[in-house]
Amino acid sequence: MFDLLQMVRAYYPKEATRKKTAIVTSTSLHHAMAQLFCQEAGQLTLTFTLKAFMNRAEATVWLLEE
Protein backbone atom coordinates (compact mmCIF):
# COMPACT_ATOMS: atom_id res chain seq x y z
CA MET A 1 0.00 0.00 0.00
CA PHE A 2 2.87 2.35 0.80
CA ASP A 3 4.21 2.01 -2.75
CA LEU A 4 0.80 2.95 -4.14
CA LEU A 5 0.66 6.03 -1.92
CA GLN A 6 4.14 7.06 -3.02
CA MET A 7 3.03 6.72 -6.65
CA VAL A 8 0.02 8.95 -5.99
CA ARG A 9 2.30 11.59 -4.50
CA ALA A 10 4.87 11.30 -7.31
CA TYR A 11 2.49 11.34 -10.27
CA TYR A 12 -0.26 13.68 -9.05
CA PRO A 13 -0.20 16.72 -11.37
CA LYS A 14 1.42 19.68 -9.60
CA GLU A 15 -0.93 22.17 -11.28
CA ALA A 16 -4.11 20.28 -10.31
CA THR A 17 -6.73 22.18 -8.31
CA ARG A 18 -8.61 19.22 -6.87
CA LYS A 19 -8.97 19.36 -3.07
CA LYS A 20 -10.94 16.13 -2.50
CA THR A 21 -11.13 12.65 -3.96
CA ALA A 22 -13.96 10.25 -3.15
CA ILE A 23 -13.48 6.51 -3.48
CA VAL A 24 -16.81 4.73 -3.92
CA THR A 25 -16.89 1.00 -3.20
CA SER A 26 -19.57 -1.65 -3.54
CA THR A 27 -18.58 -4.24 -0.94
CA SER A 28 -17.69 -4.10 2.75
CA LEU A 29 -14.27 -5.62 2.09
CA HIS A 30 -13.41 -3.06 -0.57
CA HIS A 31 -14.73 -0.28 1.65
CA ALA A 32 -12.52 -1.38 4.54
CA MET A 33 -9.50 -1.50 2.25
CA ALA A 34 -10.32 1.94 0.86
CA GLN A 35 -10.67 3.35 4.38
CA LEU A 36 -7.23 1.99 5.29
CA PHE A 37 -5.81 3.52 2.14
CA CYS A 38 -7.38 6.89 2.99
CA GLN A 39 -6.01 6.77 6.53
CA GLU A 40 -2.52 6.05 5.24
CA ALA A 41 -2.85 8.80 2.63
CA GLY A 42 -3.77 11.21 5.42
CA GLN A 43 -0.31 10.68 6.88
CA LEU A 44 1.33 11.93 3.68
CA THR A 45 1.56 15.54 2.67
CA LEU A 46 -0.86 15.29 -0.24
CA THR A 47 -2.54 18.39 -1.61
CA PHE A 48 -5.98 16.76 -1.47
CA THR A 49 -8.11 14.72 0.93
CA LEU A 50 -9.24 11.15 0.23
CA LYS A 51 -12.39 9.64 1.71
CA ALA A 52 -14.11 6.28 1.15
CA PHE A 53 -17.86 5.85 0.66
CA MET A 54 -20.24 3.01 -0.08
CA ASN A 55 -22.87 5.38 -1.46
CA ARG A 56 -22.28 7.54 -4.53
CA ALA A 57 -24.81 10.18 -3.46
CA GLU A 58 -23.03 10.65 -0.11
CA ALA A 59 -19.71 10.93 -1.92
CA THR A 60 -21.13 13.59 -4.23
CA VAL A 61 -22.47 15.62 -1.30
CA TRP A 62 -19.06 15.47 0.40
CA LEU A 63 -17.27 16.51 -2.79
CA LEU A 64 -19.54 19.52 -3.24
CA GLU A 65 -19.13 20.74 0.35
CA GLU A 66 -16.80 23.70 0.83
Per-residue model confidence as pLDDT tens digits over 26-46:
999 999 999 999 998 888 878
pLDDT of residue 1: 64
pLDDT of residue 57: 98
Strand partners, 43: none
Query: In this model, does residue 25 exceed pLDDT 80?
Result: yes
Q: H or E segment at 11?
A: helix 2-11
Confidence band for 2, pLDDT divided at 50, 70 and 90: low
